[in-house]
């Protein structure tokens, strides 16, 4: 789906959660509402760096930027909006959203440590060759996440640390990693 179709889908879930399992579960639904707020904040406030803008503007070959995600994903609330803001002005880049939990299950080809962690970005050239794979979160944050999991920290503790990190980083690490992969 396009980014706009993803936003529309997100709004449909928020308007009628009972029609979209697992959002009929109050915990999923509440977290999804929070993700909607976070994503919209980044859509309003996130501005790619000059280096990132110039790099993306210099892409003249047709590319497909595929993001595997779901509205319930806390990491996606930050990264997907930032990725969209990075590429939205380049007509040579198709920005495509694939839902993790919906057929054709593209995530099965892009596992993280054997798991279906999202969001996942796949940048393909026009003949379908994967040029870049990124995700589910910036490397520094992934290391923090893995360390906290190894220490058996609660999901609530992990979520709090991750959200604080995203807010302090402001998309810098994501951009730095993409710049390194694209140059």
pLDDT at 128: 87
pLDDT at 90: 98
Would you say residue 147 lies in a domain? no
Q: What is the C-alpha separation between 125 and 81, in angstroms, rounded?
A: 22
CATH number for the domain spanning 59: value is: 3.40.30.10
Domain that holds residue 29: 3-138+170-182
Q: What is the C-alpha separation between 75 and 59, in angstroms, rounded?
A: 26
Query: pLDDT per residue over 108-119, tens digit each?
Result: 999 999 999 999
Query: pLDDT per residue over 52-67, tens digit each?
Result: 999 999 999 999 999 9
Report field, pTM of the whole predicted structure over 0.85: yes
Would you say residue 143 lies in a domain? no
Residue 26 pLDDT > 90: yes
């Amino acid at each position: 789906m396009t980014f706009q179709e993803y936003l529309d889908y997100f709004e449909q879930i928020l308007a009628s959660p009972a029609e979209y399992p697992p959002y009929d579960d109050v915990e999923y639904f509440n977290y999804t509402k929070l993700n909607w707020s976070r994503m919209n904040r980044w859509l309003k406030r996130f501005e790619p760096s000059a280096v990132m803008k110039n790099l993306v503007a210099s892409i003249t070959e047709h590319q497909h930027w595929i993001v595997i995600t779901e509205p319930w994903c806390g990491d996606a609330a930050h990264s997907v909006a930032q990725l969209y803001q990075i590429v939205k002005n380049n007509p040579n880049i198709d920005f495509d959203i694939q839902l993790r939990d919906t057929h054709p299950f593209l995530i099965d080809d892009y596992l993280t440590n054997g798991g279906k962690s999202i969001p996942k970005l796949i940048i393909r050239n026009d003949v379908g060759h994967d040029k870049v794979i990124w995700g589910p979160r910036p490397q520094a944050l992934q290391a923090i996440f893995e360390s906290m999991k190894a220490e058996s920290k609660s999901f609530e503790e992990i979520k709090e640390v991750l959200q604080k990190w995203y807010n302090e980083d402001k998309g810098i690490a994501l951009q730095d990693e993409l710049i390194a992969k694209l140059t």
